[in-house]
A = this chain, B = another copy of it.
Amino acid sequence: MMVSSHTAMRTLLVVATALLLLSLIGQAETQPEFNLMPMPASLQAGSGELALNQSFTVAVTGHGGARVEHAAQRVMARITAQTGIPVSNTLADSSKATLVLSAEKAGESVQKLGEDESYKLEVTPTGARITAPADLGVLRGVETFLQLIQPSPSGFVVPAVTINDQPRFPWRGLMIDVSRHFAPVDVIKRNLDAMAAVKMNVFHWHLSDNQAFRVESKKFPKLQEMGSGGQYYTQDQIRDVITYAHDRGIRVIPEFDMPGHATAWFAGYSELASGSGPYAMEQKFGIFDPAMNPAREETYKWLDKFIGEMTALFPDQYFHIGGDEVNGKEWDANSKIQEFKRAHNLQTNEDLQAYFTKRVQEIVKKHKKTMVGWDEVLHPDIPTDVVIQSWRGPKGLAQAARGGYRAILSNGYYIDLMFPASQHYLNEPLSGDAAGLTPEQQKLILGGEATMWSELVTPDTIDSRIWPRTAAIAERLWSPQSVNNVDSMYRRLAVVGHELEYTGVTHNSYYERALERIAGPNNVHSLMVLADVLEPPKEYHRGQMDKLTTDLAYNRLVDVLHPESDSAREFAMLVNRILAGNGSPQDKSRARAMLIMWRDNDQRLQPVLQNGNFLMRELVPVSQNAAAVASAGLEALNYLDAGVTPLPTWTQQQLAVTTEARKPHASTLIMIAEPVQKLVQATQGGPPAPGKW
């Protein structure tokens, strides 16, 4: 019996590369000189480079305090991880150290919005120095230094450079929803490390929603006992995460969503609700009727105690109360609430919610915190010290600023919607309506937040939904507005995405393991050829295809796919150049080689899929369609090359193939279908395909 090992099979699957491709692919293109993300505000290349070897040491001078020393420890550990060089793990004397970290002062013990994060990094062939007015700047600078490390002909080096850097926006956040799917502390921590690596400074912790309440409350223990399914953070764990984040220059802002999105609270405390219950943790996703009762004074007494407990637990100045998506049905159905509205002259449910929001805002203020809420809290009755998080559309941000509110942008940064990095990258906060704001109003735009809503993610896959795309958002919020070249972003993202794994996130390494779970060790690589051209559905389309609940197994191919297919993006770019008449012979050969690979992969994969397990079988039509599309693309290239116009029946048939292939199967999208459709249409001199699926 032949031993067909995993490795041998993979090797065979990689076969014939050179045979087929050598003539097609030249040298790897020249790397951009500095694979930094986010790009610094100012960078001047020097001459020469600093050698990085076993004698590398770090020293700390100035008055930056413990946080700088911890950063120095992390630099030493990360260099060893990134390069394999066993550098010293003890601090050196500043007169002898390779890298000197120097901050003039320590930052606030509770990090404040707008603290100075600027730094200067100077690298010469003899040493490197990061200086900053405050310790936060050193934390940002060391991440730049780590990104500059690269192997050279002589060894690992850091190129000589002078960087003066500071952020464009003071609020650069990542929200993680831990309600719909829980994220254990280790998942949170590794994502904090990755955030720090791209200079993000706000972790917005969406801790409660209809599906679960995730924090231990000592005053109201039924919140976690009846609202978390046993999956919640103890207060010790919360404090541990806050300390961990602060050490990395990241503020932790808790969100307790109210008055809607709160069903899980009502499992233990139904008296808070507007309906009669009973209530239980919601297992489905969407907008639900339950909402807090804004007409009972007891609600505010309860919230005063609760917010008192939580503002003591979370030291940040800002406290997020959610406020989104109340459908008002429970309010309409409750006669006492209707009575309350009349008594208080509240015309609409929006007015009623504004009443609630104002009351909560007063409680939050009483506990010496500043309230943050989603778009919906914006109302003429709400004081302007509330911060608005804009999510519903591009206009909300400018509207808030015009009203005198400070605002942060999340519309366009919804990474759960599976859009490509470029789309988020080009989502400029000060564009559209916001471009017309006065300079004073523009100052009210604090920044933005990527939002990782967790309906579809598990601890296995969450990193791959956040990274590397969030690094592009981090650059948008840190770097000058003029830094906006998409090609450059993708080139740097490939390198920085690799480096991010050294912070502990697993967005690259999970992929092969997850595919192997589906395909077994012998077929993982032919499944990968298919998976590499697929993407999950966009926006909320997945929910229209599959019955989704919190207790579903998110282990199908669609759950493993990268949100963005690098292969399909490259292929689409080749097709665009070819159809625009400026495709090189290499472009054409490369496009052809890709199509051949995709077409022929089905011959190997198809029998395995048909005889495979349940996770494989649903992929039968996906592989067939991908092969059919690739075949159509090859034929179209032949016609275009030959300058021959095919018969209309051929074109009709191929358009039928690509149209069919653009429909989702097994909840996946074949991302090469659209560019192939363009090729087919071009054989008739026709227009490009309208819209996206």
Binding site for B on A (CB under 8 A): 1-8, 10-22, 25, 27-29, 31, 53-54, 81-86, 89-90, 150-155, 230-231, 458, 460, 487, 490-491, 494-495, 497-498, 501, 508-509, 512-513, 516-518, 520-523, 525-526, 528-529, 532-533, 550-555, 559, 562, 565-567, 569-571, 573-574, 587, 590, 593-594, 596-597, 600-604, 607-608, 611-617
Contacts and interface: CB of A to CB of B under 8 A. Distances in A.
B570 A22 contact: no
Contacts of A523: 28
A7 B567 contact: yes
Contact of A596 (B15, B491, B528, B607): B15
Nearest to A614: B155
A199 to B, nearest CB: 22
Given A14-B528, A27-B607, A513 B508 contact: yes
Contacts of A6: 494, 497-498, 566
Most buried by B among A15, A152, A487, A571: A15
B151 A27 contact: no
Contacts of A566: 5-8
A19 B611 contact: no
A600 B521 contact: no
A521 to B, nearest CB: 5
Contacts of A603: 18, 22
Contacts of A594: 11-12, 15
Given A3-B569, A573-B2, A16 B19 contact: yes
Contact of A517 (B14, B84, B593): B84
A512 B512 contact: yes
Contact of A532 (B11, B81, B573, B611): B11
Contacts of A21: 12-13, 15, 604
Contact of A29 (B1, B532, B551): B1
A569 B7 CA distance: 10
Contact of A2 (B2, B550, B570): B570
A4 B612 CA distance: 33
Contacts of A522: 28-29, 494
Contact of A14 (B14, B501, B562, B616): B14
20 contacts: A2-B29, A2-B574, A7-B567, A8-B532, A8-B570, A8-B571, A12-B25, A12-B590, A14-B528, A15-B597, A29-B522, A84-B553, A84-B554, A84-B555, A85-B555, A90-B230, A151-B518, A155-B614, A501-B513, A509-B512
Given A12-B590, A53-B553, A54-B553, 8 more contacts: A3-B569, A3-B573, A10-B532, A15-B596, A15-B597, A27-B611, A84-B555, A509-B513
Given A551-B86, A554-B84, A25 B517 contact: no
Copies of this chain in the oligomer: 2
Contacts of A16: 15-17, 19-20, 593, 596-597, 600
The 7 closest A-B pairs by CB, nearest first: A84-B555, A18-B600, A151-B613, A7-B566, A5-B566, A15-B597, A8-B570
Given A84-B458, A604-B17, A29 B7 contact: no
A101 to B, nearest CB: 19
Given A5-B569, A10-B532, A154-B614, A17 B15 contact: yes
Contact of A525 (B14, B27, B151): B14
Contacts of A4: 28-29, 570
Nearest to A52: B553
B15 A593 contact: yes
Contacts of A608: 27-28
A300 to B, nearest CB: 35
Contacts of A8: 532, 566-567, 569-571
Given A154-B614, A554-B84, A17 B597 contact: yes
A249 to B, nearest CB: 24
Nearest to A83: B555
A4 B594 CA distance: 13
Nearest to A491: B3
A614 B573 contact: no
A613 B15 contact: no
Most buried by B among A231, A522, A523, A594: A522
A25 B460 contact: no
B85 A22 contact: no
Nearest to A556: B84
Most buried by B among A18, A550, A567, A602: A18
A152 B613 contact: yes
A373 to B, nearest CB: 31
Contact of A17 (B2, B529, B613): B529
A536 to B, nearest CB: 15
A617 B154 CA distance: 10
Most buried by B among A1, A10, A84, A526: A84
Most buried by B among A54, A567, A594, A608: A567
